[in-house]
Amino acid sequence: MVQIRSNFIDMKDYLESVKKQFQYYKMLAEKTFDQVDDEGLFWQYNAESNSIAITVNHLWGNMLSRWTDFLTSDGEKEWRNRDSEFEDVIKSREDMMAKWEEGWQCLFKALDSVNDDNFGDLVYIRNQGHTIVEAINRQLAHYAYHVGQIVYVGRMLAGSNWESLSIPKGGSKAFNDKRFAQAKARKHFTDDDA
């Protein structure tokens, strides 16, 4: 029988899990970028919708604001210009990928700064206090939401050439058979099936 501790969050387990979740969503978007040609990165359904590049620009702005000085300054920085994040300012795949990597590096560096001494601290976003867990979960959900948009647009653009990022259609039984053939073990779902 598996025992789960209640009313206790192990900081190291939580941070390891959340880092894997962030890496998973980063990977989903990057596998989508690989399936979209350069022109597709800038395609918009209409003038009110966001291209993949605009969504990346917003994520970049949010990440720099939220994760720079994560533990010591408000997550909505005075220097952030959120409205400009939704403008068509990225002009190439290379520019987009540079912003993408800069944002993620800022995030992972901030997560690496969390330790036993500060895990109980409050951080603020627009003057609203968040526990470390609340602040991290808020951003994880936000980024998953936007990565889902990126994947959806990418899948539309790739059409019949789309390569599944998870279990392909018709592959559920084989996937489940493989998983249930393994012994029960404590694993994160992103761990390889070695």
Which residues make Cβ contacts (< 8 Å) with residue 184, sequence separation at least 6?
2
Place of tokens 């800022």: 106
The residues, ordered by sequence, that sit 6+ positions from 81 with a Cβ below 8 Å of its Cβ are 61
Helix runs in the chain, H state only = 11-34, 52-67, 93-112, 132-158, 172-180
Q: Which residues contact 132 (CB under 8 A, 6 or more apart)?
A: 114, 118, 119, 120, 121, 123
Domains and CATH numbers, the chain: 11-180 (1.20.120.450)
Model confidence pLDDT, tens digit, residues 43-64: 999 999 999 999 999 999 999 9
The 10s digit of each residue's pLDDT in 61-112 is 999 999 999 999 999 999 999 999 999 999 999 999 999 999 999 999 999 9
Query: What are the pLDDT digits (tens) for 103-137?
Result: 999 999 999 999 999 999 999 999 999 999 999 99
**Are the C-beta atoms of residues 29 and 143 closer than 8 Å to each other?**
no
Confirm whether pTM is higher than 0.85: yes
Distance separating alpha carbons of residues 67 and 87, to the nearest angstrom: 22
